[in-house]
């Protein structure tokens, strides 16, 4: 912050807040923390949380981020905001004043999205988030320091739980079972409420001690907190980009800053050729929706009700598909080839394939189906996409760690129904189903 002071930031923030107030945005109180580059890397590694339990994967994340920045593989981090009330965001000291203004405006967009989107309202409790992560961290540290447990045992369970972190209920936490339901469950090896929640099933029914169950639940609860963000990546970034653009245009920036703003903005929302830039797709969609008749009100409802999958299905029009040059690709022999492009015949297929692959659509569904003679039977809900076999085998070993006995997974490999089994000694066998 060599060229500006905190007073500068407060000045620009006041002006942004005025514009926010006059818009239809509805935000949590906002807090900005000014941090340096190292702190920013740390926050990124620990998913933005001021307090988080330790695990080597965060060390790895840190090293990787740092290496990427070092080799300039990604731009500088200038946006980090967490879904909490008050909403917490970080501003990196090294950034220019314009970048800070841009970030602040962008953050208000996310803040509003967190507060209003249906998924966030249903599955997260923003006012407890920071406390919750702190409590998790305290408990994990307690287990690590407990002489009868220690770091190695904690790590083994966390490794396993991390491997299954997205195998949880995709629709938030279900209500607790009633006493009648619980009595019924005694005869059901896999109770209906856990049929689509492998991690929850293992936490409850696996061969775990109470502290191990707690660790698995900590990971599971954290996943449930992040799933709304995963499910709305395109919308959330699109919404924030739409608003930072609108707010900064209205701010009447001095010419120099305005120029830098346009440059930065274009960098953020540029297309990533042959991949998907969620900022670009989301920004373009909201921009075009807002221009349509009644759109400025319409987008307020859309941000409340949709998730990426439904958002794309409903609002990705043929015109947008063409403008964004979207296409689908597949693998034939050893080549990656283009399958459909966004023309008259192809755009619907492109749209649908895109919608199916966003958020958790890209995570295979693995469900517990039965327990037979102590062996846990899992099923991959096959939709034409095969599992990466090497990863599946290793992940299965982690399932065994939590289940405590043999585990079998049914899936399709090269058009054949197969069972991958892993016993307690972590020996993997693949046989016909």
Q: Which residues contact 164 (CB under 8 A, 6 or more apart)?
A: 198, 199, 202, 395, 398, 399, 402
Omega into 157 within 30° of 0, i.e. cis?
no
Q: How far is the CB of 183 from other proteins (least distance, A)?
A: 33
Q: 233-250 vs 6-22: helix axis angle to the nearest 10?
A: 100
Nearer to other proteins, 230 or 289 (CB): 230
Total residues interacting with other proteins, rule: CB under 8 A: 98
Q: Are strands 375-380 and 366-372 parallel, antiparallel or unpaired?
A: antiparallel
Cβ atoms of 403 and 206 closer than 8 Å: yes
Q: Is residue 395 within the footprint of other proteins (CB under 8 A)?
A: yes
Nearer to other proteins, 96 or 357 (CB): 357
Q: How far is the CB of 192 from other proteins (least distance, A)?
A: 22
Q: Is residue 431 within the footprint of other proteins (CB under 8 A)?
A: no
Q: Which of the residues 70 through 129 are near other proteins (CB under 8 A)?
A: 86, 93, 104
Q: Which of the residues 278 through 307 are near other proteins (CB under 8 A)?
A: 278, 280-281
Cβ atoms of 347 and 322 closer than 8 Å: yes
Q: If you ran DSSP here, which 8-state letter would residue 195 be given? A: T
* Rounded distance between C-alpha atoms, residue 324 and residue 116, angstroms: 28
Nearer to other proteins, 24 or 64 (CB): 64
**Could you tell me which stretch among 76-84, 171-179, 203-211, 326-334 binds other proteins (CB under 8 A)?**
326-334
Q: How far is the CB of 151 from other proteins (least distance, A)?
A: 8
**Could you tell me which stretch among 189-197, 241-249, 388-396, 420-428 binds other proteins (CB under 8 A)?**
388-396
Nearer to other proteins, 255 or 416 (CB): 416
Nearer to other proteins, 39 or 181 (CB): 39
**Could you tell me which stretch among 239-247, 260-268, 269-277, 298-306 binds other proteins (CB under 8 A)?**
269-277
Residue of 32, 49, 51, 52 lying closest to 93 (CA atoms): 32
* Rounded distance between C-alpha atoms, residue 229 and residue 267, angstroms: 22
Q: Which of the residues 132 through 161 are near other proteins (CB under 8 A)?
A: 151, 155
Nearer to other proteins, 296 or 385 (CB): 385
Q: Which of the residues 14 through 33 are near other proteins (CB under 8 A)?
A: 14, 17, 29-33
Q: Which of the residues 39 through 78 are near other proteins (CB under 8 A)?
A: 39, 41-42, 45-46, 54-60, 62-63
Helix locations, 28-126, DSSP H: 37-45, 56-70, 97-116, 118-123
Q: Is residue 308 within the footprint of other proteins (CB under 8 A)?
A: yes
Nearer to other proteins, 182 or 343 (CB): 343
Residue of 160, 158, 227, 168 lying closest to 199 (CA atoms): 168
**Could you tell me which stretch among 75-83, 126-134, 204-212, 226-234 binds other proteins (CB under 8 A)?**
226-234
| 64: Cα separation from own chain's centroid | 18
First to last CA, the chain: 64
Cβ atoms of 430 and 418 closer than 8 Å: yes
Half-sphere exposure for 332 (CA within 13 Å, toward CB): 4
Q: How far is the CB of 285 from other proteins (least distance, A)?
A: 12
């Amino acid at each position: 912050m060599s060229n500006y002071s905190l007073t500068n930031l407060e000045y620009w923030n006041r002006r942004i807040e005025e514009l926010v107030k006059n818009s239809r945005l509805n935000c949590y109180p906002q807090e900005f923390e000014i941090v340096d580059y190292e702190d920013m890397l740390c926050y990124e590694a620990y998913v933005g949380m001021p307090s988080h339990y330790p695990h080597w994967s965060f060390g790895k994340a840190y090293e990787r981020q740092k290496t990427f920045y070092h080799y300039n593989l990604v731009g500088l981090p200038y946006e980090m905001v967490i879904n909490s009330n008050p909403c917490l965001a970080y501003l990196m000291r090294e950034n220019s004043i314009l970048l800070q203004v841009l970030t602040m405006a962008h953050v208000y967009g996310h803040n509003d999205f967190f507060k209003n989107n249906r998924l966030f309202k249903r599955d997260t409790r923003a006012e407890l988030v920071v406390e919750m992560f702190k409590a998790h961290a305290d408990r994990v540290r307690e287990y690590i320091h407990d002489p009868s447990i220690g770091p190695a045992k904690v790590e083994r369970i966390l490794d396993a739980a991390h491997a299954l972190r997205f195998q949880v209920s995709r629709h938030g936490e279900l209500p607790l079972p009633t006493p009648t339901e619980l009595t019924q469950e005694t005869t059901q090896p896999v109770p209906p409420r856990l049929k689509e929640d492998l991690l929850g099933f293992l936490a409850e029914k696996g061969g775990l001690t109470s502290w191990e169950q707690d660790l698995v639940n900590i990971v599971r609860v954290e996943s449930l907190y992040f799933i709304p963000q995963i499910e709305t990546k395109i919308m959330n970034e699109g919404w924030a980009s739409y608003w930072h653009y609108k707010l900064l245009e209205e701010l009447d920036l001095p010419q120099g800053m305005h120029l830098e703003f346009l440059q930065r903005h274009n960098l953020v929302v540029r297309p990533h050729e042959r991949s998907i830039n969620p900022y670009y797709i989301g920004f373009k969609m909201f921009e075009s929706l807002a221009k349509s008749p009644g759109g400025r009100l319409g987008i307020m409802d859309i941000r409340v009700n949709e998730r990426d999958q439904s958002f794309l299905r409903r609002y990705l029009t043929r015109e947008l598909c063409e403008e964004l040059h979207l296409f689908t690709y597949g693998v034939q022999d050893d080549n990656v080839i283009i399958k459909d492009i966004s023309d008259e015949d192809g755009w619907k297929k492109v749209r649908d394939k895109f919608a199916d692959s966003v958020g958790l659509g890209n995570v295979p569904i693995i469900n517990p189906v039965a327990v037979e003679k102590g062996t846990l039977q899992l099923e991959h809900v096959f939709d034409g996409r095969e599992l990466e076999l090497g990863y599946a085998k290793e992940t299965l070993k982690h399932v065994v760690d939590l289940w405590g006995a043999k585990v079998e997974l049914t899936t399709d490999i090269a058009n054949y129904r197969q069972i991958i089994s892993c016993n307690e000694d972590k020996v993997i066998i693949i046989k016909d189903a």
